[in-house]
Each structure stands twice: as structure tokens, then as C-alpha cells.
Amino acid sequence: MKGQTSNLEVARVDSRGTRRFVDKIVRERPMTIFLNDSEVATLMCTPSDLEPLAVGFLFAEGLVGGLRDVKKVSVDEKDGVVWVETKKPVELSQDVVSRRYVTTGCGRGWTVVDATRGKSRLKIRSKSKLPVNSIPMLMTEFLRKSKLFRLTGGVHSAAICNSRGILVYCEDIGRHSAIDKVVGECILGGIRTKDKILVTTGRISSDIVVKAARSGVSIVISKSAPTDLAVQLARDIGITLVGFARGTRMNVYSKASRIVARSQNTLSR
């Protein structure tokens, strides 16, 4: 957690009056990604796990297809710069070049229109199943790992899991960046994301569904709500979407057949 928080003096007001104390505030810093010496984007993020964030972002943008495309990644944490070199040249579209600056709350990558046109390429045809009692277990483990959130209350969390537990976990001030980090960690660590579970604390919007589909994830679980476009897209693509997963209660918005009462043909290990 070193370098992810700042100690700032603040005033707390309650029924007993006003008092000053030193609070831990999550840090927000810019990180600029260069791809083969071309500036791609500057992300506002939590200054940790910068290498997987850069790789996950480039994967989500369709600029790298996986570790096989990456030749070298260099990180300058002091200046907040990551250089990614690929084995083959990558042509940057004008759309990518024109949107260099990405805030924490901004959706990016494919638009809903793009996703609608390219649904056949995003189809998830997994036959894997997830025991329903695995979901509370995963959420309990997931929330237990949220140390930075408990300390600051200022981050989102994301994890890639199988039916038995969490494989990769990351936190960031942006829900998109938290997901890019876990996907990037999987790419760099050689962990297959196909047929895995994506767990997030954030709202499930349509672009989150696209990120999951691009990674081959078959189930997305959040303690928060989905949007209507996210539900429609998940139904069209074949992703199981679970929202409001709190304790033993949850809403399953799409492909509910993957959630089963007992273990049978469970998700890939």
C-alpha cells in the first residue's frame, strides 16, 4: 500500500462539533502510456500496478492481443510513464490518437454502437457452470481484500476468479482501470481469462461487458447495479450478468442457466 495514500489534515464535523485530524486519502496521479514511442493515452489512476494497467488498457483498446504481442514493458513510476514495445508495428487509428486524456469516470474503447456491430466477434459460448453458493464465498473473499478501500473509501476493486477463489485482485480510483489492471496481470502472468469470473465493485455499464467479452470472461459479478444497455448486450453476447450480489441475495440479469444449485462442470481452473 506504500505510495497509494497521502496523509492530509481535514476537519470532521459531527454532533459533538468540529475537530481536526490527519486522514489517509487515496492518491490520484496521471499515467501516460506510450506504444512503440507513440503517445496513446494519459490515465488518471492510483499509482500502483502501472505495468498491468498499461497492458490491460492496450488489450481493452484492441491494440495488443496478448502477451505474444508484447516485446518489452518499461515503467517510470516517478514521472508516471509506461512504455510498451510490441514485436510488430501497431497502426494507431485517428480515434485512438484524438482522445489522449482519460478521466477516472470515462468509458473508453468500444462504444455501444461498435459492440452492437461486432457482437459476433464477442460471443461467449462457454458451457461452464458456477455453483450458486460460490458467489457469496467469492464476494466475501473479494471484500476482505479491499484494504485500500477500507483505509480511504476512495477506490474500486476488481478480481479475476474461478469457482474456488480469487486468482488476481487489484484496486484503483477508476472502475475501468481496476478491471484493466486485473486483465493486464493475467496477461503478464500467463493466466487464462477465458471462462473465468470477473468480480467488480463498480456499476456494470455496457463498456464493462465489452471488456469482459474481449477477455473471454463468461460471468460478471458486482455488488452494484447494471445499466439496461449492459444487460441487453450481455444477453446478446452470452455473458452471465449478476448484480447486487450481497450475501446470499443477488439478481441474475442474463444467461442464468450458468448459475447452478450444485457443482457440475464448474468453471475452468
Instruction: Please provide the DSSP assignment of 16-76 as one string.
Output: TEEEEEEEEEE--EEEEEEETTEEEEEEEE-SS-HHHHHHHHHHHTTS--SGGGEEEEEEE
Query: Which three cell numbers mark 90?
Result: 501497431
Tell me whether residue 86 is in a domain. yes
58 and 158 in a single domain? The answer is no
182 and 79 in a single domain? The answer is no
Tell me whether residue 57 is in a domain. yes
Residue with cell 464477442: 122
Tell me whether residue 196 is in a domain. yes
Tell me whether residue 125 is in a domain. no
Decide which of 107, 122, 156 is a domain's last residue: 107
pTM, rounded to two decimals: 0.89
How many folded domains does the chain comprise? 2
Tell me whether residue 15 is in a domain. no
Residue 18 phi/psi, 5° resolution?
Answer: -120, 135
Query: Which three cell numbers mark 70?
Result: 508484447
Tell me whether residue 11 is in a domain. no
- What is the C-alpha to C-alpha distance for residues 54 and 32, in angstroms, rounded to an integer? 9
Within 8 A by CB and 6+ apart from 126, the residues are 194, 195, 218, 238, 258
Tell me whether residue 47 is in a domain. yes
Give the three-state DSSP class for 198: strand
Q: Residues 117-150: pLDDT tens digits?
A: 556 678 999 989 999 999 999 999 999 998 899 9
Strands (DSSP E) contained in 77-155 are 81-86, 101-102, 130-131
Q: Residues 2-51: pLDDT tens digits?
A: 789 999 999 999 999 999 999 999 999 999 999 998 999 999 999 999 99
Tell me whether residue 199 is in a domain. yes
- What is the C-alpha to C-alpha distance for residues 2 and 48, in angstroms, rounded to an integer? 9
Q: Residues 199-228: pLDDT tens digits?
A: 999 999 999 999 999 999 999 999 999 999
**If we measure between CA atoms, which residue out of 168, 146, 165 comes closest to residue 157?**
146
Q: What positions carry a catalytic annotation?
A: 106
39: containing domain: 29-107
